[in-house]
Structure 1
Amino acid sequence: MKQLKYFFFLPASIVLLAISCAKDAGTTDLVGNWITRASLGGAARSEAVTFTIGDVAYVGTGYDGTDRYYDFRSFNSDANNKFGAWTLLPLPPLALARSFGIAFSINGKGYVGLGNDQNAKKLKDLWEYTPNSSGGTWAQKAFFPEPGNTGSAGSSNTDGRVDATAFTLTVGTVQKGFVTCGNNGSYVADLFSFDGTSWKSETSFPGTERSGAVAFVNNNIAYLLTGTNGSKMADDLWAYDPNTGGGTWTPKRKIINFSTDNYDDDYTDIVRTNAVAFVRNDINGTPKGYLAAGENGSANAKTWEYDFVNDTWTRKTAFEYAAPSGAVSFTLKGRSFVGLGRNGGLPLNSFYEFDPTVAKIDND
């Protein structure tokens, strides 16, 4: 008896649909929306600095390829004006003109320092900003204790460093600014803290020396990642606890594809330099770390979300506009903003808000 053979043909559209629905942790179900907000209003620039005091963000300095700036503006945004508004502050001392500097805020004051001056000299000065109803005042503070260069540590004629990384933590009951990594003629990985009066040497960063790294802070733990040593992009991630063992660095999962699962197949997209990092709540109200912008041979538009509990990354909606390198970011009233930077050598003055809790909406 002949056996009857049955063949079933599926329409091509169904086959294609099945293929397109195959899950890949790095490329499907992307969530997050980039929303246009108020541009800076001043000159377009990259390598600027930012800090927040209360419900106000401050942005200043930077470089447009020709000039280094020293102007500062404050930014505010609320439910009645989600687009946001910038206010030009009284001009600070000309000595603040720089690029690739650092900034942090402690005890209701902002601090700006290091970087390159107009002649590309490495700086080691530090300036304190005190807000007031007249736009605020600036005062010079103790020089950064740059080791290993000419002159005495802490003296004004000692060369400084550029492209370092700064963050704020509370040590005991004292809020301090921390500065690590950067380039002082060589790539470095030391760590110093500043309490508003003086600098103190802390436990050095144990990872590879680098510049262009970023850090985000959650639950008074700083997470440092990315950057470059000139020949290789850093693929490690470290957590720093200032209140354990006099300051302890703990290695986290490397940012590479080493598992047999597909969740980390695209982790190589995370590594970059001169990116931005920030913390805000996800759709469940849980704080997550976010990494965006920067470059790795070319502009990197990929956005990633870091889970502090599980030590894993989830890809989010990519930057929807000209992806910047050397941008700034800040979180204000639970909302996160990214702006300035450069794309293909072109300086930018645009700002955007990233909302990780909603789906992408084009051109909003």
Structure 2
Amino acid sequence: MNILKKGLLFTTLIINIAFVGCSKDEDEDVLGNWIKKSTFDGPARSSASSFVIGSFAYIATGYTGDEYLTDLWAYNSDGDSWEQKADFIGVARSASSAFELNDKGYVGLGYDGTNKLRDFYQYDPATNQWTQKTDFAGTGRYSAVGFQVSGKAYFGTGYDGNYLKDFYQYDDALDNWTLVTGFGGNKRRNATVFVIDDKAYLGTGINNGSYQVDFWEFDPSTDVWTKKRDLDDDEDDHDTYLITRSNAVSFSMNGLGYIACGENSKSIWEYNPSTDLWNEKTALEGSARTDATGFAINQRGFIVLGRSGSAYYDDSWEFKPLEEQNDDDN
């Protein structure tokens, strides 16, 4: 069994113990509705990476349980359809990281079954071509976060044989990486990030078998990380939070952030940056899953793919946070 599989199995065992029970009374109503969308046309997979350009989300690489992948797929959110694009030109991998910058997609890092990777590639949707760029300046790693906020793009955290907390900024004009200092959070892999109003919010993940509860806001205009309310906060003025997890997905829409799924979980939590509080929403109506892919397109949130144990998924779901749950629309 390779290192990545062992880590996922260990994480799954831990989460099955940690998430027994629920955070709200079972009779208490929560808001939110899930609508099943067009099934992914490629092989079912987990640990894919994604980026969004215009009204399209692009899904690259991943792992089927038997093989690592190089294919690239575009989801047309207007037409609810999938189209295969030019294959990723790096080695097949899973647990890579990605971001969008200046209308181009970037994918790098990851794990190929043997090696922890640091190569880095640009995808141009206008030409449907990939170009290799300067290797990531940090160590080869997998399960790092990638994000772009206010025109600045970053890779950080992850696992290179040790758990990490470093961050590097990518400059596409110079095609180089710069170490960014100042993150005061804990080391981790399998964290998740969403962006609201030119600030990035990072949380969840795991470090040496311990789920990370710290939650951080990053302001790219000052390069300052600010600690926010912990994800396991249980003060008397609000519901107890059960957000801590790893291998989750996240996205933001309409000024609010969302963290969902992770290790056989299907719960989703909504974050309000103006109050620094979370609110539980209707759980995913599909199967509970880990290593899924989440993204937002034009203020619409989606969760696709993922796995539970040895079952790999190819379904796609859109989340409507202001609607009541309706089982008849799936």
TM-score (norm 1): 0.81
* 2:271 and 2:278 in contact (8 A); partners too: yes
Question: Counterparts of 1:75 and 1:96 in 2: how far apart (Å)?
Answer: 23
**Which one of 116, 119, 125 corresponds to residue 131 of structure 1?**
125
Aligned position for 2:47: 47
**Which one of 152, 160, 166 corresponds to residue 146 of structure 2?**
166
Shift of 1:301: 1.2
Shift of 1:29: 2.9
* 1:130 and 1:137 in contact (8 A); partners too: yes
Residue pairs, 1:180-329, within 5 angstroms: 180-196=156-172, 197-244=175-222, 247-261=223-237, 263-265=238-240, 267=241, 269-281=242-254, 287-295=255-263, 299-329=264-294
Report Cα offsets for 1:333-364 as digits up to 9, x if no partner. Answer: 22111011101221111110001010001152
Residue pairs, 1:318-357, within 5 angstroms: 318-357=283-322
List structure 1 segments (4+ residues) > 3 angstroms apart after TM superposition. 24-27
Shift of 1:230: 2.5
Report Cα offsets for 1:225-267 as digits up to 9, x if no partner. Answer: 00000321011100011112xx101000112243134x232x0
Q: Which amino acid aligns with 1:303?
A: I
Question: Counterparts of 1:293 and 1:43 in 2: how far apart (Å)?
Answer: 20
**Structure label with greater radius of gyration:** 1
Q: Which amino acid aligns with 2:135?
A: F
Question: Counterparts of 1:322 and 1:162 in 2: how far apart (Å)?
Answer: 25
| Pairs aligned (count) | 305
Question: Counterparts of 1:35 and 1:250 in 2: how far apart (Å)?
Answer: 35
Q: Which amino acid aligns with 2:239?
A: D
Q: Which amino acid aligns with 1:178?
A: Y
Describe the SS at the equivalent of 2:271: strand
Aligned position for 1:143: 135
Question: Counterparts of 1:25 and 1:307 in 2: how far apart (Å)?
Answer: 22
Describe the SS at the equivalent of 1:181: strand
C-alpha spacing 1:349/1:355, structure 2 compared with 1 (3 Å):
same
Q: Which amino acid aligns with 1:185?
A: G
CA RMSD of aligned residues (A): 1.7
Give identity over the alignment, percent.
38
Describe the SS at the equivalent of 1:122: coil
Report Cα offsets for 1:44-70 as digits up to 9, x if no partner. Answer: 000001001122111110001110000
Question: Counterparts of 1:41 and 1:353 in 2: how far apart (Å)?
Answer: 17
Q: Which amino acid aligns with 1:103?
A: A
C-alpha spacing 1:96/1:39, structure 2 compared with 1 (3 Å):
farther
Aligned position for 1:97: 92
Aligned position for 2:82: 86
* 2:250 and 2:294 in contact (8 A); partners too: yes
Describe the SS at the equivalent of 2:326: coil
Report Cα offsets for 1:298-332 as digits up to 9, x if no partner. Answer: x1111110011000000000111111210111111
Question: Counterparts of 2:52 and 2:326 in 1: how far apart (Å)?
Answer: 28
